[in-house]
Chain A
Amino acid sequence: MSLFKLGFGAAAALLVLFLALPVVALFVTTSASEILLGLRAPLVGPALRLSFFTTTASLAIVVALGTPLAWLLSRSTSRLARAVETAVQLPVVIPPAVAGLALLLAFGRRGLLGGLGLQLAFTTAAVVLAEVFVSAPFYLQAGTAAFRRVDTELLLVARTLGARPLRSFARVALPLALPGLVSGAAMSWARALGEFGATLMFAGNLSGRTQTLPLAIYTAMESDLGAAQSLSLLLVLAAFVLLLIVRSGGPALFGAPRVPR
Chain B
Amino acid sequence: MALLLAALLAGDVVVFAAASLKESFEELGALFEKEHPSAKVRLDLGGSQELRTQLDHGASADLFASADEVQMDSLARHTLVLAPAVFARNELVVIVPGNAPPLALDDLPRARRIVLGDKAVPVGAYSDRMLAKRGAAFRRSVEAQVVSRELNVRQVLAKVALGEADAAIVYRTDAIAGGTRVRATRIAAADNVFAVYPIAQLKAAPQPGLAADFLRLVLSPRGRATLSRHGFLPP
Is the C-beta of A108 less than 8 angstroms from some C-beta in chain B?
A: yes
Q: Report whether B120 and A222 are in contact in the complex, using a CB–CB cutoff of 8 Å.
A: yes
Kindly state the separation between the CA atoms of A219 and B147 in the bound complex, as whole angstroms: 16
Are A204 and B49 in contact (CB-based, < 8 A)? no
B50 touches A222 (CB 8 A): yes
CB distance A219 to B163 under 8 Å?
Answer: no
A204 touches B147 (CB 8 A): yes
User: Complex formed: what's the CA distance from A109 to B113 in Å?
Assistant: 11
In the complex, B169 has a CB within 8 A of chain A = no
Residues of B within 8 A of A123 (CB): 147
| A/B interface sample: 30 pairs, CB < 8 A | A104-B162, A104-B164, A109-B163, A109-B164, A110-B162, A110-B163, A110-B164, A122-B113, A122-B115, A122-B148, A122-B159, A122-B164, A123-B147, A200-B151, A204-B115, A204-B147, A204-B148, A204-B149, A205-B150, A205-B151, A206-B147, A206-B148, A210-B148, A218-B151, A222-B47, A222-B52, A222-B53, A222-B120, A222-B151, A223-B120
**B118 at the A interface (CB under 8 A):** yes
Contacts of A218 in B (CB 8 A): 151
User: Counting CB contacts under 8 A, is A121 at the interface?
Assistant: yes
Number of residue pairs spanning A and B whose beta carbons lie under 8 angstroms apart = 55
Residues A222 and B49 in contact in the complex (CB < 8 Å), given A204-B115, A205-B118, A205-B149 = yes
Contacts of A207 in B (CB 8 A): 149
**Residue from B119, B147, B165 with most neighbouring chain A CB atoms (10 Å):** B147
A191 at the interface (CB under 8 A from B): no
Task: A221 to B50: give the CA distance in the assembly, Å.
Answer: 9
**Closest residue to A201 on the B side, CB-wise?**
B155
Which partner residue on chain B sits nearest A204 by CB separation?
A: B148
Q: Which residues of B contact A (CB under 8 A)?
A: 47, 49-50, 52-53, 113, 115, 118-120, 146-151, 159, 162-165
**Nearest A residue to B113, CB-CB:** A122
**CB of A68 to closest CB in B, whole Å:** 33
**Which label, helix, strand, loop or mixed, suits the secondary structure of the A interface?**
loop
Contacts of B113 in A (CB 8 A): 122
Contact (Cβ within 8 A) B49 A205: no
A204 contacts which chain B residues (CB < 8 A)?
115, 147-150, 159
CB-CB nearest in chain B for A224? B120
Interface residues on A, range: 20 to 34
Select from chain B the residue with minimum beta-carbon distance to A121: B164
Point out which of A108, A110, A206, A218 has the most chain B C-beta atoms below 10 A from its C-beta. A206
Partner of B49, one of A110, A200, A209, A223: A223
Minimum CB–CB distance from A83 to chain B (whole Å) comes to 32
Contact of A108 among B52, B115, B151, B162 (CB under 8 A): B162
Q: In A109-152, which residues have CB < 8 Å from any B CB?
A: 109-110, 121-123
The 6 closest A-B pairs by CB, nearest first: A204-B148, A122-B147, A223-B120, A222-B49, A110-B163, A222-B53
Chain A: which residue is nearest B166 at the CB level? A109
Residues on A with beta carbons closer than 8 Å to the beta carbon of B115: 122, 204
Chain A 184-196 per-residue mask, 1 if CB under 8 angstroms from chain B, else 0:
0000000000000
CB distance from B234 to the nearest CB of A (A): 29
Chain A residues 11 to 61 lying within 8 A of chain B, measured CB to CB, are none
CA distance A137 to B165 in the complex (A): 31
Min CB distance B157 to A, Å, is 14
Closest to B115 in A: A204
B180 to chain A, nearest CB (A): 16
Partner pick for A122 among B52, B53, B165, CB 8 A cutoff: B165
In the complex, which residues of chain B have a beta carbon less than 8 angstroms from the beta carbon of A121? Answer: 164
